[in-house]
Structure 1
Amino acid sequence: MRLVLAAAALLALAACQRAVPPEDAAAARRIEADLRALADDRMQGRETGSAGYERAARYTIARMQAIGLRPAGEDGGYRQRVPLLRAQRLAEGNTLVVERNGATVALRFREQFLPLLDFETEQAQVAAPAVFVAQAVHAPELKQDDFAGLDVRGKVAVLFGGAPARFPPDQRAHYASTDEKLRALAERGAVGAVFVATAGDEETYPWARSAAQWQRPGLSLRGADGGPLERRGSLRVVARVSAEAADILLAGDGRSAAGLYRDTDAGRLRGFVLPGTLSLSSRQRIAALESHNLVARLPGGERGSEHVVFSAHLDHIGTGAAVDGDSLYNGAVDNALGVAVMLEAARALAAGPQPRRSLLFVAVTGEEHGLLGARWFARHPSVAPGTLVANLNLDMPLLLAPTRDAVAVGIEHSSLAPLARQAARDTGLTLSPDPAPQEVMFVRSDQYAFVQAGVPAAYLNAGVIGAGFGDDPLAAQRDYLRQRYHQPSDDADQPIQYADAARLARLNARLAELIAQAPQPPTWNAGDFFGQRYGVAAPIKQAEPSRAP
């Protein structure tokens, strides 16, 4: 009898915890309708620049209009042009040859190496002496200099990804970025770079998956001269090599690639000259492309010239390799759900009192190709430059099991933290810490483009505390990441918790209200790594509004 009563009590508790307020039930239905529309097969996976993306854009604009948001793009409309370049590898002309001690070894294209896409030239080649540069990290504030005593000018640098394990998570994420490593190498005059994969890298992302997608195009922002907005400087060819082929480049004199990586990750190893030369070549086809961010505005009052910016990426990855006969990658959770939640937050805010500061709602393009739309908007906003005061980003909310909390990523860096905690209290939610700080999600979605433009940002995501007996949100999230992330099975048939999505929309709306009404705009915390690097004194700031070339 006691067991029966206990079970009944647990079921009653779960029922209470799952009760959905009437306003959330209506919001949940709207969010589901938007998700099903954006993740429909007719949208063809919403690849940036595709006809499917254009259909999704028209749908989103219609929803913005229906909500009552004003156009805030270019030419009095909702669109902001984003100029792009599209590059695609060709089957021939890609080589990586190691010449050492009188022997020559040619690595196999696709199976053992892949050149990174080059947006500057359709054909490039380089042959030069090789030098091992560990992880190409120059971080004097952390007493790390992988270039100490090395001259990399005119050489091909061989390196591992990542950054030393002893680094704090934020700094480790920054110095682990490919862009940061290539910038450091170009500054020192390297003419080529070869990233060597480790077994750990390939546990996370198997080489076979990269090889299978060798023909997938890549995108880059296009500058006014028709070339890429960001260039590689002295670097002519950059490539990646599989873990299986790593010893071809690095083994010798009693060392192995695996041993070198262990010592590098532990911070015990610096760079050294490698014997012999490396010859690399790459071939790709390059073409101009255009896509659009979608920008809507809810005008503010006395501080209406300042803007709190919502962002959610509308694009996904289109079509690809068939899985169980399905080659359409719908991107329901990633990120039709994020856009749907943003639209619901916009609807709630538009129905409320006028905020002191204006609110922008930006459905960005090109996130899957490197935060391209967000980077363009953050640096070339369609509103007056210097008026973006905060960013709230929505990307892939993993709302796949009922929860009673939310996770606020990035609030610890700025004065957004107390406002986020207040918003959670007002919404009846617990605010949980990031369950995986080592993943540093703060630098891995569109909010980071705003951070790099000096704008404090937050990324509100799904919670991790189950709403009732047997609910395990973390297990559901892990299952999605293993089985459905960037797969055709990320569709509308998943167990998406739309009531939780409605609550996440309320949380975002309330936080936006608090930011908009605050006496002062958000500020970076004193001594914060990102604030010091990108804040008021940083070189990368919001530029003048500009049109696509």
Structure 2
Amino acid sequence: MRLCLLAGIAAITATPALAQTAIPKPDISVATLKTVTKTLSSDAFEGRAPATPAEPKTVDYIIQQFKAAGLQPGNHGKWTQEVPLVQITANDVQPLTFTGGKTPLSFDYRKDMVVGTYRVTPQIDLKNSDVVFVGYGINAPERGWNDYAGVDVKGKTVIILVNDPDWQTMARKGLFNGREMTYYGRWTYKYEEAARQGAAAAIIIHDTEPAAYGWGVVQSSWTGPQLEPDAPGDHMDQSKVIGWIQQDAAQQLFAAAGKDYAKLLEAAKHKGFHAVPLDLKASTQFTNTIRRQKSHNVVGILPGTTAPQDVVLFSAHWDHLGHCDPVDGDGICNGAVDNASGVAGLVALAKANHEAGPTRRSQVYLAVTAEESGLLGSAYYAAHPIYPLANTVGGVNMDVLNVNGKARDFVITGAGKSQLEDMVKPFVAAEGRVIKPEPHPEAGGYFRSDHFSFAKLGVPMLDATSGNDLVKGGVAAGEAASRDYTEHRYHKPQDEYNPDWDWSGAVADLTIYYDLGRELANGTMWPNWYKGAEFRAVRDKSRAGM
């Protein structure tokens, strides 16, 4: 059971906290929200892909808006932080073939499968690699679960299911939290674990519901230039090939191996599952064009008065997909909602806080790059912080604002982890709203945006937004709008600015973010993770010497 606000603050303050005082309502500028979103998502910005000719234009515009909002340069007199990246573009991708079964199979790039690599190398050759089905590809000793137990997959191709074994359990309880995805369910984890096991290739079976997006998103996000951190070793410790395969193709694959696809999927849900060799050989090859480059995070600050060394952080990612698969002749993924709107929220919050006057702690506004490539910009900042993470009190991440109108509910992504949740309750109530559980926890939203980069290193960050119970139209209207966006606009050219959007929901959410940020910035509290949360230990360690 969660603590009330006062009990929560009493539990988390190292020194006496300021009593909560009434915070004047901010002036969240709808004009700013509209202008910034419309500008950043216009064709002139070409979809804001990092390290392309569109980046300097994007970064310059954000700096211009930060200045106008009253921010100062946030990186020791500079507005940006360099983020070293390497761009890998797969070329001449050959079909993914499987031999040795009842029927030889050949799956085409983009249509049936997508493949790529983390390795910074000009040539990838996967030849006659033994194929093993490893269920959900999870090795979780603390849960007594190991899909790799008793099997050696070094040099082999592993076929993996997306999400967690109990994702179809509607309740949020069970070994892997039931409907609520754990990090073990994320594709990032599955490739990481396959590499640790020595697999030459890791292929995830795409299924729309547990993946939380359709095949079109895989096509648009996983093809063309891919960005990775430019790190020592060139990622040669990773699998040669990573990728996805359509479910229909996977069913053909299992049939060729003489295996019952449905029975193996059912078996993989249960503890004690053993990986199944498919007695097939996998092959593909492609070349890579490699380009090392730098992208940039944009950093602004409102310096604090009496405790300027302590930092409250607001973040949003500025990047999107750039040029992508055309729809009706439109080949620019503009990313209006995702996430020009979030950057607009960042600017509007900065403006409101500047107008309200300085706070005792500093406020840092961080527009990060390469979120769409795997949270790379925020991960780089977290690993190379301009302001020490031990001095970062907490904050708010904004990834997609509500443009569908005001909602009665407020949803916290990954609820049940951080004491920020107790602090935000009265501000939600002040808006006449209620906190509700995530409507689609199986989507794994907690692991899909930049707050996660900070959480992993101990900093509590709130990632929350309007729910689907809209004032105009109720849950039915909210669900319809959410479904329309996911199916028809998410990571597609159709995510474009619409002058008819209703910004009242965004303003209501931003008011809550403002109130919480103001409370943190004027207080002395140090919110922590709940006991038992996976990030508690690293936070305690970082704060131990303070």
Which of the five TM-score ranges fits, normalised by the shorter chain? 0.7 to 0.9
SS at match of 2:153: coil
Q: Distance in 1 between matches of 2:71 and 2:49?
A: 25
CA shift, 1:25, in A, is 7.8
CA contact (8 A) 1:183 1:232 kept: no
SS, match of residue 46 in structure 2: helix
Would the aligned equivalents of 2:404 and 2:505 in 1 still touch at CA under 8 Å?
no
Partner of 2:229: 221
Q: Which has the higher mean CA deviation after the structures are superposed, 479-488 or 387-396?
A: 479-488
Amino acid at match of 2:523: A
Q: Residue 133 of structure 2 aligns with which residue? A: 132
Aligned-pair distance for 1:388?
2.2
Residue 420 of structure 1 and its aligned partner are, at CA, apart by: 0.7
Give the corresponding residue for 1:345. 349
* Counterparts in 2 of 1:328 and 1:154: CA distance versus 1, 3 Å: closer
TM-score, scaled to structure 1: 0.84
**1:447-477 deviation per Cα after TM superposition (whole angstroms, max 9, x unaligned):** 1111112211111212333324668333222
Distance 1:202 1:320 in 2: 20
Distance 2:528 2:208 in 1: 41
Deviations 1:330-359 (A, max 9, x none): 222111111111211111111224322211
Q: Percent identity of the aligned residues? A: 28
Q: 2:144 and 2:238 mapped to 1: Cα distance?
A: 26
Q: Which residue of 2 aligns with 1:57?
A: 59
Whole-Å separation in 2 of the counterparts to 1:304 and 1:209? 43
Size of the aligned set, in residue pairs, is 510
Q: Does the Cα contact within 8 Å between 2:160 and 2:204 map onto a contact in 1?
A: yes
Tell me if structure 1 keeps the 8 A contact 2:98–2:281: yes
| Aligned counterpart, 1:511 | 516
The match for 1:362 among 351, 363, 366 is: 366
The structural deviation recorded for 1:303 is 2.6
Is residue 173 of structure 1 aligned with residue 205 of structure 2? no
Please give the per-residue CA displacement for 1:294-332, whole angstroms capped at 9, x wherever unaligned: 000111233321211111111112222322232232222
1:112 and 2:116 correspond: no
Q: After TM superposition, list the pairs within 5 Å mapping 1:461-500 onto structure 2.
A: 461-468=465-472, 472-493=477-498, 495-500=500-505
**Gapped runs of 5+ residues in structure 2?**
1-23, 167-173
Instruction: From the superposition, tell whether residues 512 and 272 of structure 1 become closer, same or farther in structure 2 (CA, over 3 Å).
Output: same
For 2:384 and 2:125, the matched residues in 1 are separated by 34
Aligned letter for 1:115?
V
Q: Deviations over 1:265-310 (max 9, x none)?
A: 3557321333243334332211112211100011123332121111
Q: Specify whether residues 213 and 79 from structure 1 end up closer, same or farther in structure 2 by C-alpha distance, changes over 3 A only.
A: closer
Shift in alpha-carbon separation, 1:483–1:248, aligned structure 2, 3 A: closer
Deviations 1:219-275 (A, max 9, x none): 11112x4x64xx251622334332222245433675233332232135573213332
Give the equivalent residue in structure 1 for 2:240: 236
1:420 counterpart SS class: helix
**Secondary structure in structure 2 of the residue aligned to 1:260:** helix
5+ residue gaps, structure 1, are 1-21, 542-549
- Are 1:185 and 2:194 an aligned pair? yes
Q: CA deviation at 1:366?
A: 0.8
Structure-2 residue corresponding to 1:289: 293
The residue identity in structure 2 corresponding to 1:174 is: Y
- Counterpart amino acid of residue 310 in structure 1: F
- Aligned twin of 1:333: 337
Distance across 1 between alignment mates of 2:120 and 2:86:
9
Q: Distance in 1 between matches of 2:491 and 2:530?
A: 35
Shift in Å at residue 53 of structure 1?
Answer: 3.1
Pairs within 5 Å for 1:23-102: 27-73=29-75, 76-92=77-93, 94-100=94-100
Q: How far off its partner does 1:204 sit?
A: 3.7
**Distance in 2 (alpha carbons) for counterparts of 1:438 and 1:109:** 28
After superposition, the C-alpha distances for 1:82-141 in whole angstroms (9 at most, x for unaligned) are 11111111125x353333269754443443333223342121224433332212111122
Using a 3 Å threshold, how does the CA distance of structure 1 residues 57 and 212 change in structure 2: closer, same or farther? closer
Partner of 1:312: 316
Distance in 2 (alpha carbons) for counterparts of 1:458 and 1:450:
11
Task: Give, in whole Å, the separation in 2 of the partners of 1:203 and 1:503.
Answer: 27
Q: Is residue 275 of structure 1 aligned with residue 309 of structure 2?
A: no
How do 1:400-411 residues align onto structure 2 when only pairs under 5 Å count? 400-411=404-415
- 2: CA distance between counterparts of 1:234 and 1:460? 33
For residue 422 of structure 2, what is the aligned residue in structure 1? 418
The change in CA–CA distance for 1:234 and 1:67 in structure 2 (over 3 A counts) is closer
Query: Whole-Å Cα distance in 2 between the matches of residues 459 and 106 of structure 1?
Result: 42
Structure 1 residue 170, shift from structure 2 partner: 8.9
Q: Which residue of 2 aligns with 1:145?
A: 146
Worse-superposed segment, 284-293 or 272-281: 272-281
Supply the distance in 1 between the matched residues of 2:406 and 2:523 (Cα, whole angstroms). Answer: 32
Pairs within 5 Å for 1:253-268: 255-267=259-271
Pairwise CA RMSD? 3.0
Aligned-residue offset at 1:378: 1.4
Among 192, 195, 204, which residue is 2:204 paired with? 195
Which amino acid in structure 2 is aligned with residue 501 of structure 1? Answer: A
Q: Kindly indicate whether the alpha-carbon contact (under 8 Å) linking 1:388 and 1:455 is maintained by their aligned counterparts in 2.
A: yes
Is the CA contact (8 Å cut-off) linking 1:186 and 1:233 kept in structure 2? yes
CA separation of 1:152 and 1:349: change in aligned 2, threshold 3 A: same
Matched, 1:528 2:533: yes
Question: Deviation of residue 80 (structure 1)?
Answer: 0.8
Provide the rounded CA distance (Å) in 2 between the counterparts of 1:391 and 1:149. Answer: 44
Question: Which range is displaced more, 128-137 or 60-69?
Answer: 128-137
